[in-house]
């Protein structure tokens, strides 16, 4: 037996692992698959095409930063039995105001982006079929139906398959271009070539760093990890997730360095740049490799779509639940509902009206943006709110995990404080830069 049964403080039966084991891995795979999207891959490719292997060290540091952030989110959920939004609410009403505005505007813009990104490789694979808008709507509807009717266990299995496809394809392409091992190891030495600062910050802070990092704790609870006895398992799961993410980043840097840097091929920004790469791969290695890459591109984009449809909808359902409880004067001052966080609560939330309402919000209103250029005001609001989210996550976790809200044994040590402080500083710098670059 690898685990035992125990009773939680609320009388609910909980499974307690005797030791961390690979067989428990799950939520980390989900967060890795969701966090790495087409935009991340193209940004990494462009960095490789411009600077070769020089920024490999930044990819490694970025992986470590994300491990620290996700570990902090998971540790909060397991150590306190409270959700991350519950913790945010305890810091004051400003967190509720920020999250409410952010999640509505972000979801509207992201929905259109995710659907378009998932449709691009399908259009490239089937050029004689329907156009981009039709495929974008189809992928959005498939994501809606899949998340609406499936429990977490099925969702996790599908995400595991998609990340397996992503992993195999990206690593295969990196091997096909024959990486320069010497240059790869040399790239682990911190060097900043002229004009590389923003690319470096983007590599450290951008890849795999979205609101889905905050959703990690919700997936941990949905998996059935509901107390501190699962801490070692969660940490193993989290490391696997972001080491996998690190492999993606390194592989795409290799592709950018070997395939694009020497030939000075320029890629279009955004998801269309991956279509450009598909054309380069076809010229170099033939149609089979190009089509395989497009399948991997689809797996990357669609896993992000259904991951957000599921994870952020869970967060929104929790947000509405606690907002209602506070408005009714129920629960404690922190807005707790009195239920023990675990798979039963996650499943109830997934069947709730707020969860399904946000699913619909992610799917149908964004379809209007497929026919319109993004409204100027929305672009500004989306850019500002999005830029502030990662600093918000890092700094609030630093606050929560150093306070009496967290049991003493699970509060931050010097390493966690150092990594979260580094992450907070990094994301503040990125935030300022992103806001400066907006089309004011």
Q: What is the pLDDT of residue 12?
A: 41
Q: Which two tokens stand for residue 224?
A: 């059935």
d(CA 416, CA 422): 10
d(CA 105, CA 417): 31
Asked if 5 and 221 count as a contact pair (C-beta separation under 8 A), the reply is: no
Question: Which runs of consecutive H residues, i.e. helices, occur in 340-375?
Answer: 343-350, 353-363
DSSP state of 92: -
In the block, tokens 């290695």 appear at 285
* 352 phi, psi to nearest 5 deg: -80, 160
Q: What is the pLDDT of residue 232?
A: 92
Question: Which runs of consecutive H residues, i.e. helices, occur in 272-371?
Answer: 272-285, 287-327, 343-350, 353-363
How many other CB atoms are found less than 10 A from the CB of residue 183? Answer: 15
Cα torsion 98, 223, 400, 110 to 10°: value is -20
Q: What is the pLDDT of residue 379?
A: 60
How many other CB atoms are found less than 10 A from the CB of residue 263? Answer: 10
Secondary structure of residue 438 in the 3-state scheme: coil
Q: What is the pLDDT of residue 382?
A: 65
Cα torsion 359, 362, 364, 365 to 10°: value is 140
Asked if 282 and 9 count as a contact pair (C-beta separation under 8 A), the reply is: no
Q: What is the pLDDT of residue 144?
A: 98
Q: Which two tokens stand for residue 394?
A: 């890092």
Output 38-41 pairs: Cβ under 8 A, ≥24 positions apart.
Answer: 38/117, 38/120, 38/270, 38/271, 38/274, 38/297, 38/300, 38/301, 38/304, 39/113, 39/117, 39/270, 39/271, 40/206, 40/207, 40/208, 40/249, 41/170, 41/248, 41/252, 41/274, 41/297, 41/300
Q: What is the pLDDT of residue 196?
A: 78
Cβ contacts of 310 within 8 Å, gap of 6 or more: 147, 152, 155, 350
How many other CB atoms are found less than 10 A from the CB of residue 168? Answer: 14
Q: Which two tokens stand for residue 63?
A: 């992986």
Asked if 13 and 7 count as a contact pair (C-beta separation under 8 A), the reply is: yes
* 4 phi, psi to nearest 5 deg: -125, 170
Of the candidates 313, 370, 357, the one whose C-alpha atom is nearest the C-alpha of residue 134 is: 370
Residue-wise DSSP of 21-37: -GGG--HHHHHHHHH--
d(CA 375, CA 32): 31
* 10 phi, psi to nearest 5 deg: -100, 5
Q: What pLDDT tens digit does each residue of the chain (440 aa) get?
A: 344 443 333 334 445 665 656 678 899 999 988 888 877 787 788 888 888 889 888 888 888 888 899 999 999 999 999 999 999 999 999 999 999 998 998 999 889 888 988 998 999 999 888 988 999 999 999 999 999 999 999 999 999 999 999 999 999 999 998 888 888 888 888 888 887 777 787 777 666 567 888 999 999 999 999 899 999 999 999 998 888 888 888 898 898 888 877 666 666 666 677 788 888 888 889 999 999 999 999 999 999 999 999 999 999 999 999 888 888 775 544 434 456 677 889 899 999 999 999 999 999 999 998 887 665 666 666 667 777 888 999 999 999 999 999 999 999 999 999 999 988 888 888 788 777 876 66
Q: Is 130 exposed, middle or buried (0-12, 13-18, 19+ CB in 10 A)?
A: middle
d(CA 398, CA 383): 24
d(CA 176, CA 169): 10
CA 254 to chain centre: 22
Of the candidates 85, 118, 120, 84, the one whose C-alpha atom is nearest the C-alpha of residue 100 is: 85
Q: What is the pLDDT of residue 7?
A: 39
- Describe the crossing of helices 27-35 and 56-80 by its angle, rounded to 10 degrees: 130
């Amino acid at each position: 037996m690898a685990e035992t049964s125990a009773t939680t403080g609320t009388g609910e039966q909980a499974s307690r692992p005797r030791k961390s084991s690979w067989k428990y891995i799950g939520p980390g795979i989900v967060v890795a698959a969701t966090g790495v999207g087409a935009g991340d891959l193209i940004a990494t490719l462009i960095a490789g095409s411009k600077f070769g292997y020089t920024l490999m060290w930044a990819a490694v540091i970025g992986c470590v930063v994300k491990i620290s952030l996700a570990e902090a989110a998971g540790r909060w959920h397991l150590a306190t039995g409270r959700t991350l939004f519950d913790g945010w609410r305890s810091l004051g009403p400003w967190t509720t105001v920020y999250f409410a505005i952010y999640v509505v505007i972000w979801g509207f813009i992201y929905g259109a982006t995710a659907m378009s990104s998932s449709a691009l490789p399908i259009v490239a694979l089937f050029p004689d079929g329907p156009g981009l808008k039709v495929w974008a709507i189809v992928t959005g509807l498939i994501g809606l139906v899949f998340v609406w009717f499936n429990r977490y266990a099925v969702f996790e299995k599908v995400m595991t398959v998609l990340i397996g496809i992503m992993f195999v394809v990206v690593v295969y392409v990196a091997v096909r271009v024959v990486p320069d091992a010497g240059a790869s190891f040399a790239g682990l030495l911190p060097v900043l070539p002229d004009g590389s600062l923003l690319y470096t910050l983007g590599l450290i802070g951008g890849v795999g760093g979205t609101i889905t990092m905050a959703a990690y704790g919700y997936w941990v609870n949905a998996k059935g990890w509901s107390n501190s006895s699962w801490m070692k398992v969660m940490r193993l799961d989290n490391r696997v997730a972001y080491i996998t993410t690190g492999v993606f980043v390194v592989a795409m840097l290799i592709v950018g360095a070997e395939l694009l840097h020497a030939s000075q091929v320029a890629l279009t920004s955004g998801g269309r740049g991956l279509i450009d790469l598909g054309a380069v791969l076809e010229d170099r290695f033939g149609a089979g490799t190009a089509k395989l890459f497009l399948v991997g591109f689809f797996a990357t984009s669609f896993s992000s779509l259904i991951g957000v449809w599921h994870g952020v909808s869970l967060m929104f359902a929790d947000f509405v639940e606690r907002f209602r409880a506070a408005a009714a004067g129920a629960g404690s001052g922190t807005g707790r509902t009195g239920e023990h966080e675990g798979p039963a609560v996650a499943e109830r939330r997934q069947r709730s009206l707020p969860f399904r309402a946000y699913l619909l919000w992610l799917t149908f209103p964004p379809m209007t943006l497929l026919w319109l250029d993004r409204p100027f005001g929305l672009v500004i609001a989306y850019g500002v709110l999005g830029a502030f989210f990662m600093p918000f996550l890092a700094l609030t976790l630093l606050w929560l995990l150093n306070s009496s809200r967290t049991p003493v044994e699970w509060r931050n040590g010097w390493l966690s404080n150092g990594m979260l402080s580094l992450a907070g500083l990094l994301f503040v710098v990125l935030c300022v830069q992103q806001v400066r670059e907006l089309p004011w």
